[in-house]
Amino acid sequence: MSSKLLPEGWEITVLENISNFIDYRGKTPKKTSSGVPLITAKNIRNGFIKAEPREFISEDDYDSWMTRGIPNFGDIVITTEAPLGNVALLHVREKIALAQRAICIQPFNSHMNRYIHYALRSPEFQKELTSNATGTTVSGIKASTLKKLGLPIPSLSEQKIIAEKLDTLLAQVDSTKARLEQIPKILKRFRQAVLAAAVSGGLTSEWRNELTNQSAQEITEKKIKPNNGLFKQAKSSLPVIPDSWNIVPSAHLIEYVTSGSRGWASYYSDDGALFLRMSNVRYNTTKLDLNDLQFVRLPTNVEGKRSLVKMDDLIISLTADVGRVARIDKDLGEAYINQHLALVRPIKNINSEYFAICIAAQNVGIKQIQYFKKGATKVGLGLDDIRSLAIPLPPFPEQHEIVRRVEQLFAYADTIEKQVNAALARVNNLTQSILAKAFRGELTAHWRAENPDLISGENSAAALLEKIKAERAASTGKKASRKKA
């Protein structure tokens, strides 16, 4: 910040002029399962030291590691490499060690700690930090460079007021952010509750009672056979369903089922046929995720073309996070699946979206799939497992009504989620906006007008800096060693 833009009574000084100690480690000693807590860059987040992840070094290593100074309660730490510029105030009194990507700063006047902690987080200082970072593969800041970066300094009284205002305002921002971050978790539970109600008849109970002439749907085409033992186990896990529904093995609802082939990497291309992978299917939804796309160019004769997907096909994850499902709900043109996915083509007389909902529901498809996975030595899911899923099957009109209601409720949840994400983005920007206002003097403009005596004369920022300079000189000009107690 230019001195011309400073509020009345403020000064600019470099960090080393107001610090007793600025130092960092060159490497990290061997980590142990217990001992002295080690603060790493991962622990320095949003102004505070986070407890997780917890890492330690031994007491013996600590004695040789921290010879150049010991972090104290109230000191400030700042990360020196990616993520560059994360700042925290040390609020623990226990013995701790710092890892190599963190610099410890001890202000000369301990009454300035909270103010400096916030000033280092301000957009203006963070911009200076970034512009002075060096390095090609990894950009970082050196302690010698950090010492020369400037900070705006108001009077000690105004520093206290700024810190108190920021404590209050940023706590409100954090509280709002924490509440907003809970909403996606609530929506996730809501979506699963909707799916669970849909496949057990709860979503259409009133609708069904108005149509007394409906009867369970009979499936006449049975080209594919299930594993009767697996189907029997799966059937026993189902929730109670309406009398007008049937329970059928998914094999009776499938016209064609296969898994993707291996060795597609040699066909990868920037364009061509769409290649669907695990990243394109997610839990708690039956919608394809097309944010991460891969394409392939295939030779004329290649075995993998049997996995060409069509409209209304289902794709199901077979490995790792098994049981994620998506329906092909639009024309993708030429598109294939990889070996971690299964392609399921439903018969014509079932609503394919309802079929997908059954697989996506925790109390039906996911429950059965997890049971199949746990009950066998195999790591993933097999096509025999998919053929043996027990599907609660309502009459055809009710399938359509279930799908309509699920889509309506999910659209409502999606709208809320978009609003929450937009609000979170505004809240995240609000923190930086408040910090910027604080260090332009805008949060304390009214206070300065009412307290001219606290920002002038012996109480001025200039007098404070002169006092620190004199006290530093009186300490013989030597850097404080801060020996261990």
Q: Judge contact between 163 and 172, C-beta under 8 A.
A: no
Q: What percent of the chain has pLDDT over 90?
A: 56
Do 242 and 122 belong to one domain? no
* Whole-angstrom distance, CA of residue 374 vs CA of residue 368: 10
**Could you give the CA distance from residue 171 to residue 47 in angstroms, rounded to a whole number?**
11
**What is the C-alpha end-to-end distance of the chain, expressed in Å?**
39
pLDDT surpasses 90 at 379: no
Question: Given a cut of 70, is residue 325 above it in pLDDT?
Answer: yes
Band (pLDDT 50/70/90 cuts) for residue 480 is very low
Query: Is 59 among the domain residues?
Result: yes
Question: In this structure, are 381 and 465 located in the same domain?
Answer: no
Instruction: Grade residue 27 by pLDDT with cuts at 50, 70 and 90.
Output: low
> Does residue 404 belong to any structural domain of this protein?
no
129 with 268, same domain: the answer is no
Predicted local confidence at residue 280, as pLDDT: 94
Residues whose CB is less than 8 angstroms from the CB of residue 30 and which lie 6 or more positions away in sequence, other chains included? 57, 58, 61
> Is the pLDDT reported for residue 211 higher than 80?
no
Give percent above pLDDT 70 in the chain: 90
Q: What average pLDDT does the chain have?
A: 87
Summarised one tens digit per residue, pLDDT across range 218-235 is: 665 566 788 888 888 889
Query: Can you give the CATH number for the domain in which 359 is found?
Result: 3.90.220.20
pLDDT given for residue 371 in this prediction: 82
Between CA 30 and CA 104 the distance in angstroms is 20
- Residue where a domain stops, chosen among 351, 367, 393: 393
- 169 found inside a domain: no
Residue 69 has pLDDT above 60, yes or no: no
Check: CB of residue 183 under 8 Å from CB of residue 211: no
What DSSP line would sit under 39-102, residue for residue?
A: E-GGGEETBEE---S--EE-HHHHHHHTTT----TT-EEEE-BSSTT-EEE----S--EE-TTE
Kindly tell me the sign of the dihedral angle through the C-alpha atoms of 463, 466, 468, 474: negative
Query: So what's the pLDDT on residue 483?
Result: 43
pLDDT at 275: 93
Q: Indicate if 464 and 387 belong to the same structural domain.
A: no
* Claim to verify: residue 231 and residue 367 sit in the same structural domain: yes
Residues 231 and 368 both lie in one domain: yes
Query: For residue 399, what are the CA distances in angstroms to 247, 256, 337, 410, 413?
Result: 14, 21, 27, 16, 21
Decide if 104 contacts 75 (C-beta within 8 A): yes
Is the CB of residue 106 less than 8 Å from the CB of residue 75?
Answer: yes
Q: Note whether 237 and 383 are same-domain residues.
A: yes
Q: Which residues contact 100 (CB under 8 A, 6 or more apart)?
A: 24, 25, 26, 27, 28
Q: Are both 365 and 237 inside the same structural domain?
A: yes
Residue 481's pLDDT is: 45
Q: Output 306 or 48, whichever has higher pLDDT.
A: 306
Q: In whole angstroms, what is the distance from residue 95 CA to residue 124 CA?
A: 33
- What SS3 state is found at 151? strand
Q: How far apart are CA 394 and CA 241, in angstroms?
A: 9
40 lies in a domain? yes
In a domain, 216, yes or no: no
The conformational region for residue 363 under phi > 0 = left, psi -120 to 50 = alpha, else beta, is alpha
Q: Has residue 172 been placed in a domain? A: no
In this predicted structure, what is the pLDDT of residue 330?
A: 92
For residue 327, what are its two tokens? Answer: 């329906």
Domain that holds residue 272: 221-393
Q: Which of 277, 370, 287 is nearest to 325 (CA)?
A: 287
Q: Does 326 lie in the same domain as 240?
A: yes
- Alpha-carbon distance of 205 to 210, in angstroms, equals 9
pLDDT of 447 = 95
Q: Is the pLDDT of residue 471 over 50?
A: yes
Same domain for 151 and 235? no
Instruction: Single out the residue of 268, 275, 267, 234 nearest to residue 387, CA to CA.
Output: 234
Buried b (16+ CB within 10 A) or exposed e, 69-91: bbbeeebbbbbbbeebbbbbbbe
**Tally of domains within the chain:** 2
From residue 294, give the alpha-carbon distance in Å to each of 181, 225, 325: 31, 34, 18
DSSP state of 51: -
CA nearest to 99, candidates 195, 181, 31, 180: 31
Residues 387 and 470 in one domain: no
**Chain length of the chain:** 485
Q: Can you tell me the distance from the alpha carbon of 71 to that of 55, in angstroms, rounded to the nearest whole number?
A: 17
Token pair, residue 66, equals: 């921290």
* pLDDT at position 184 over 70: yes
Residues 22 and 112 in one domain: yes
Strands 76-79 and 87-89: antiparallel
Residue ending a domain, choose from 393, 409, 433: 393
pLDDT of residue 485: 38
Q: What is the pLDDT of residue 1?
A: 53
